[in-house]
Amino acid sequence: MKISPAAEFAVRGALVLAEHYGDGPTTLDAICEARGLSKQYLVKIFASLARAGLVTPVRGKRGGYLLAREPGEINLLELIEAVEGPIAVNFCQHIPPRCEQSECALRTMWSDIQQFICSKLGSTTLGQCLEVGQTDPIRRAT
């Protein structure tokens, strides 16, 4: 029961763009340096975020990436689903469900868990994250 590393890195990378919102494009190198992330990995993640319209690539010598909307207008659920696809905590929460059982106490429980997760992530924006001081570089423990 965990978020994929790609989705976690998408959130961390987008937070760097949010920190620099209004300052012009930020390069992937700068994002990797700020958050201790692998560039090879981040290239794919940011391609997914760009396809989802959450970040905007800027070509050229001073190119990089911009956040496509204000930090307060981008929530974490959008970022995660852009790289992970729709959240489905288990088989029965897939769309369409990967389980045919219609009446199941487990399904209600999984549905509650899924709704809580989506609500939490969907109601948390990059802007809110910035406000509460989580913008220091995130370093993985050795």
Task: Return residues touching its own copies (CB under 8 A).
Answer: 1-4, 7-8, 11, 76, 80, 84, 87-91, 96-101, 103-107, 109, 112-113, 116-117, 120-121, 124, 128-129, 131-134, 136-141
The smaller minimum CB distance to its own copies, of residues 24 and 112, is found at: 112
Minimum separation from the CB atom of position 75 to its own copies (A): 11
Q: Is the CB of 43 or the CB of 104 nearer to its own copies?
A: 104
Q: How far is the CB of 52 from its own copies (least distance, A)?
A: 17
The CB-of-62 to its own copies minimum distance in angstroms stands at 30
Question: What is the gyration radius of the CA atoms in the chain, in angstroms?
Answer: 17
Are the C-beta atoms of 54 and 74 separated by less than 8 Å?
Answer: yes
Assess contact for 45 and 6: CB atoms under 8 A.
yes
Question: 109: alpha, beta or left, given left = phi > 0 and alpha = psi -120 to 50?
Answer: alpha
Single out the residue of 38, 74, 32 nearest to residue 56, CA to CA: 74
Residue showing tokens 């809580």: 116
**Both tokens assigned to 88:** 């489905």
Instruction: Between 52 and 117, name the residue whose CB sits nearer to its own copies.
Output: 117
Nearer to its own copies, 25 or 82 (CB): 82
- What is the closest distance, in whole angstroms, from the C-beta atom of residue 103 to its own copies in the complex? 6
